[in-house]
């Protein structure tokens, strides 16, 4: 029996723009997903296509138990975390000798297949290695860890990443002269953020700007707008949609002493709040009970 865990993620800057070759900044967050794999002679019966693909890719049979503290389908990277932790647990249980890089690569391949081609390596990279990354067109740059106080608000409105990516592509097709500069402005925000990663107040303003531009791209949602406004009104440095939008989650960067108040405000504004911080650890082997 082998148990491995992997963290969730948030996009701090640049979602959607990364689909068009622009840079994005994403970081691993608590909580984690825990996956236990045990050798069996018969095939497992997982309900997740991601898990099915992990066993298929590594050509073994086993049973799997998932303990996820991450809400699924909310833009916090739970499918990537499940995929990388399942691959690592299979690798360990069956002694396959895969490296962390190989697991990250395989996890991305699986995400891409299950999501019918619509996936960037952001989630699988961040979940495998932990910490914070600048991601751009298949390259990744690890950034110095920061002690951010983050409050995530889950709008609980269902969203589909594939549909939102398509929506932006449609808008860009219809209004290219407007959408191109918007994507360029998001890129400028990400690049400016790179120079101010240890200045939360400055970053907060950039998050507000990034949020407005995501709204322009049509990936806003009334619940998300209300959550973002509630976070700002209770003292967040800044707040924005995180991930694909159209539902799912927003994230606020908070002063340490205000994060509980911001979380409370999100809870009363129809959201589920999560106070979190950077998780510098990626894939991790857990002790067997």
**Annotated catalytic sites, by residue?**
123
CB-based contacts of 188, cutoff 8 Å, min separation 6: none
Q: Shortest distance, CB of residue 266 to ligand PMV, whole angstroms?
A: 18
User: Known binder of ligand: residue 260?
Assistant: no
Residues 150 to 169 in contact with ligand PMV, rule: CB under 6 A: 161, 165
- Beta bridge partners of residue 39, listed in sequence order: 62
Residues 122 to 141 in contact with ligand PMV, rule: CB under 6 A: 122-123
- Residue 120 binding ligand PMV, by CB under 6 A: yes
Nearer to ligand PMV, 37 or 186 (CB): 186
DSSP 3-state of 196: coil
- Residue 236 binding ligand PMV, by CB under 6 A: no
Report angle CA 70, 71, 77 to the nearest 5 degrees. 65
Report residue 199 as tokens. 């200045």
Query: Which residue is it, tokens 């409370």?
Result: 264
* Alpha carbon of residue 258 to chain centroid: 24
Judged by CB under 6 A, which stretch of 31-39, 48-56, 241-249, 275-283 contacts ligand PMV?
241-249
* Alpha carbon of residue 206 to chain centroid: 19
Q: Which of 7, 8, 31, 77 binds ligand PMV (CB under 6 A)?
A: 77
Q: Is the dihedral of CA 244, 191, 240, 258 positive or negative?
A: positive
Nearer to ligand PMV, 103 or 168 (CB): 168
- Residue 19 binding ligand PMV, by CB under 6 A: yes
Residues 249 to 288 in contact with ligand PMV, rule: CB under 6 A: none
DSSP 3-state of 154: strand
Binding site for ligand PMV (CB under 6 A): 15-16, 18-19, 75, 77, 119-120, 122-123, 161, 165, 243-244, 248
């Amino acid at each position: 029996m082998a148990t491995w865990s992997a963290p969730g993620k948030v996009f701090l800057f640049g979602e959607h723009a990364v689909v068009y070759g622009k840079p994005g900044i994403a970081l691993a967050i608590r909580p984690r997903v825990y996956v236990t794999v045990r050798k069996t002679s018969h095939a497992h019966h997982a309900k997740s296509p991601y898990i099915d693909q992990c066993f298929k890719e590594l050509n073994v049979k086993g049973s799997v138990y998932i303990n996820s503290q991450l809400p699924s389908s909310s833009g916090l990277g739970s499918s990537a975390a499940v995929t990388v932790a399942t691959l690592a647990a299979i690798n360990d249980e069956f002694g396959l000798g895969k490296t962390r890089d190989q697991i990250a690569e395989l996890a991305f391949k699986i995400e891409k297949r299950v999501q019918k081609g619509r996936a960037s390596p952001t989630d699988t990279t961040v979940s495998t290695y932990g910490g914070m990354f600048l991601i751009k067109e298949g390259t990744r740059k690890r950034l110095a860890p920061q002690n951010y106080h983050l409050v995530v608000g889950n709008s609980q409105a269902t969203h589909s990443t594939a549909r939102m990516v398509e929506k932006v592509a449609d808008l860009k097709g219809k209004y290219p002269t407007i959408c191109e500069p918007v994507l360029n402005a998001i890129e400028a925000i990400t690049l400016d953020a790179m120079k101010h990663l240890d200045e939360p107040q400055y970053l907060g303003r950039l998050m507000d700007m990034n949020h407005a531009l995501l709204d322009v791209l049509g990936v806003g949602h009334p619940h998300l707008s209300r959550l973002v406004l509630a976070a700002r009104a209770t003292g967040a440095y800044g707040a924005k949609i995180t991930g694909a939008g159209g539902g799912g989650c927003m994230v606020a960067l908070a002063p340490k002493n205000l994060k509980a108040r911001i979380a409370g405000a999100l809870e009363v504004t129809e959201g589920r709040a999560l106070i979190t911080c950077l998780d510098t650890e990626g894939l991790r082997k857990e002790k067997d009970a």
